[in-house]
Amino acid sequence: MVKSKKSVMGEYITSDVESKAYVWCIRNKIYIYPVALDQGVWTIEIKNKDKASRDPNSYTKTDIWKTIFKYYKHYYNKYNEEQI
């Protein structure tokens, strides 16, 4: 039997609003994901169609997912007619 490893990325449960923004962004080719900088430290990369940019800040497992979904909501509100 294979033992599952404990996630070093932390856990995060999305709200309905965050899930809606996530799905909309993926369908519109806006991808936001963590990039490891060091053990336990990440930054965020945002790929919007053909453009890629990186958040200059670094995040721990307690902040990374909350910030990623904050970005998803930002891009949803910026490019979608319906605001959430």
Q: What is the mean pLDDT of the chain?
A: 91
Confidence band for 24, pLDDT divided at 50, 70 and 90: very high
SS (H, E, C) the chain: CCCCCCCCCCCCCCCHHHHHHHHHHHHCCEEEEEEEEECCEEEEEEEECCEEEECCCCECCCCHHHHHHHHHHHHHHHHCCCCC
What is the residue extent of each domain of the chain? Answer: 16-79
Rounded percentage of the chain residues whose pLDDT exceeds 90: 75
